Amino acid sequence: MGRNKVEICGVETSTLPVLTNEEMRQLFRELQSGDDAAREKLINGNLRLVLSVIQRFNNRGEYVDDLFQVGCIGLMKAIDNFDLSQNVKFSTYAVPMIIGEIRRYLRDNTPIRVSRSLRDIAYKALQVRDQLTSKHSREPSIQEIAEVLGVPPEDVLYALDAIQDPVSLFEPIYQDGGDPIYVMDQIRDDRHKDVHWVEEIALHEAMSKLSERERLIVSMRFFEGKTQMEVAEEIGISQAQVSRLEKAAIAQMQKYVN
């Protein structure tokens, strides 16, 4: 037995075939001619694509087998709707459809309950969005989606917001080899503008122990409520540097505050 053998839904991933671009195009020609066997070969030949996509959802706590099966549904939809004449790589077309199918599955199984009417509007809006994107080769506006559905734009916006997946504030969104930058680092919090917040935790003395650059970063981040990106742009360094300096400054201040 091979050391790298991994089975998902009874499929041994190490033996999955890999199709060349020319093989793919030929199979799509056969499929368009009504050859069902070509469809089966296209599915088997692109299961690795599904595997690569579901890796993005490994931190959701879902069973890999379940995500793989849902991803395969997205793959089959992509195969059935792919237009060979558009001269677009199949993977470029298929990946968003596989991701979309998995996200719909995750939304349906989220612990946050959304009313059936809102879900119906949201799912119809997503279908219309995909149709308009395919037709016009651009992302449609909420207004355009609402016009097709015949509902107010605010209803569409509210419904789409209601089915969004929750995101952890500690989910990393960027890492350049050093400290990661988290979602929380990108959030502006206007409550930090309140000068009483500073007085209550006696930060004045602690800030005096910082370097000039560290004091500037702390002031802009927590007194002015600016994001790390905004700070980075104003003082001319990278966001990763701002993140590192901010964390170092907070650790230094804690020595005097605690």
Shared domain check, 157 and 179: no
Compare 178 and 157 and report the one with higher pLDDT.
157
Cα 69 to Cα 82: distance, rounded to the nearest angstrom: 20
Shared domain check, 58 and 122: no
Shared domain check, 101 and 1: yes
pLDDT of residue 188: 55
Shared domain check, 84 and 15: yes
Shared domain check, 135 and 52: no
pLDDT of residue 171: 57
CATH number at residue 69: 1.20.120.1810
For 29, 47, 63, 119, 128, the CA distances from 75, given in Å and listed in that order, are 17, 8, 18, 23, 19
Compare 185 and 83 and report the one with higher pLDDT.
83
CATH number at residue 126: 1.10.10.10
pLDDT of residue 4: 40
pTM: 0.42
Mean pLDDT score, 69-88: 87
Shared domain check, 193 and 146: no
Tokens of 173: 């969104």
pLDDT of residue 193: 46
pLDDT (tens digit per residue) in 8-45: 555 565 667 788 888 888 999 998 888 889 999 999 89
C-alpha 141 chain-centroid distance: 20
Among 109, 129, 145, which residue terminates a domain?
A: 109
Radius of gyration for the alpha carbons in the chain, expressed in angstroms and rounded: 25
CB 102 within 8 A of CB 54: yes
Among 89, 109, 129, which residue terminates a domain?
A: 109
Compare 3 and 228 and report the one with higher pLDDT.
228
Cα 232 to Cα 240: distance, rounded to the nearest angstrom: 9
Shared domain check, 14 and 98: yes
Residue with structure tokens 């170092």? 248
Q: Band of the pLDDT at 150, cuts 50, 70, 90? A: very high
Residue 147 has pLDDT above 60, yes or no: yes
Of the ranges 55-64, 189-198, 247-256, the best mean pLDDT one: 247-256
What whole-number percentage of the chain has pLDDT above 70?
71
Cα 191 to Cα 204: distance, rounded to the nearest angstrom: 18
Start-to-end CA distance of the chain, whole Å, equals: 57
The total of structural domains in the chain comes to 3
Shared domain check, 211 and 159: no
Q: What is the average pLDDT value for the chain, to the nearest integer?
A: 76
pLDDT of residue 149: 92
Shared domain check, 15 and 105: yes
CB atoms within 10 A of CB 106: 17
Ramachandran area for residue 9 (φ above 0: left; ψ -120 to 50: alpha; else beta)? left
Shared domain check, 95 and 34: yes
Mean pLDDT score, 50-77: 83
Mean pLDDT score, 150-178: 68
pLDDT of residue 91: 85
CB 185 within 8 A of CB 242: no
Dihedral of the alpha carbons of 108, 109, 113, 116, in degrees to the nearest 10 = 30
DSSP state, residue 15:
G
Residue 177 has pLDDT above 60, yes or no: no
pLDDT of residue 113: 55
Cα 169 to Cα 187: distance, rounded to the nearest angstrom: 9
Residue 148 has pLDDT above 90, yes or no: yes
Compare 35 and 161 and report the one with higher pLDDT.
35
pLDDT of residue 206: 72
Shared domain check, 158 and 134: yes
Range of the domain at 241: 172-257
Among 166, 196, 231, which residue terminates a domain?
A: 166
Shared domain check, 16 and 103: yes
